[in-house]
A and B are shown apart, each in its own frame.
Chain A
Amino acid sequence: EVQLLESGGGLVQPGGSLRLSCAASEFSISTYSMNWVRQAPGKGLEWVSAVDGPTGTTYYMDSVRGRFTISRDTSKNTLYLQMNSLRAEDTAIYYCAKKGTTASPGNYFDWWGQGTLVTVSS
């Protein structure tokens, strides 16, 4: 069965940095696009970033572009999110999520990790 295991969350001061990881198993992240989706406390879901499986093309939501960097290590089958210049409004649970199909368009999410909490506060 597919598994996605996030790590790296924690408490960080405004302006600080954090790197999240998502270890995937039972499928190849070179085949399927991978995503980061976040959820602020008591709020809805917000797509953050994606990396296309076959091409490695990256995508970002406007408010994180230039501050966050999505990357992957295909040899470790692991996804990353480097978050710099963090703001209070970045406080959220961050989920990694697998694209549900290799077809395009098709970036809906069929498997989600348990999430890792990022808190930006002084």
Chain B
Amino acid sequence: DIQMTQSPSSLSASVGDRVTITCRASQDIGKYLAWYQQKPGKVPQLLIYGTSTLQSGVPSRFSGSGSGADFTLTISSLQPEDVATYYCQKYNSAPWTFGQGTKVEIK
């Protein structure tokens, strides 16, 4: 099975900072990658699918890039409401595996 590895596991940044989270697949998954945001105590929400397509309603400060096995989620200007854990997920084929998560905090 394909493994998904995120880095870092956690990060602390200041409001307004540019934040980058990396997701690496153990094999080529094309562009079949999604990102989710889970705020503390809340249900996960879809942010991005198809590597770079923003889900309706997601602020434009979020963006995704990559292909093959290396992917990136970028928050261009971190806001207090972005405090959350972020997960990548591959969906090229079963099993539809998630990364282990990246916890984002405000410094």
Contact between B43 and A114 (Cβ–Cβ < 8 Å)? yes
Which of B38, B87, B91, B101 interacts with A106 by CB under 8 Å? B91
**9-residue interface stretch from B14-22, B44-52, B67-75, B76-84:** B44-52
Answer whether residue A108 sits at the interface, using C-beta atoms and an 8 A cutoff: yes
The DSSP consensus for interface residues of chain B is loop
Q: How far is B95's CA from A98's CA once the two chains are assembled, in angstroms?
A: 16
Name the CB-closest residue of B to A97: B44
Interface extent on B, as a size class? 20 to 34
A61 to B96, CA, bound (A): 9
Cβ–Cβ < 8 Å partners of B55 in chain A: 110
Closest to A103 in B: B50
Q: Residue A45 contacts which of B46, B87, B91, B95 (CB distance < 8 angstroms)?
A: B87
- Which chain B residues lie closer than 8 Å to A37 at the CB level? 44
Q: How far is the CA of A113 from the CA of B44 in the complex (A)?
A: 9
Whether B36 and A105, one on each chain, are in contact in the complex, defined by CB atoms closer than 8 angstroms, is no
Residue in A closest to B48 when the chains form the complex, CB atoms: A108
Most chain B CB neighbours (cut-off 10 Å) among A61, A107, A108, A115: A108
Chain B contact residues, CB within 8 Å of chain A: 1, 32, 34, 36, 38, 43-46, 49, 55, 85, 87, 89, 91-101
A contact residues vs B (CB 8 Å cutoff): 35, 37, 44-47, 50, 59, 61-62, 95, 100-101, 105-110, 112-115
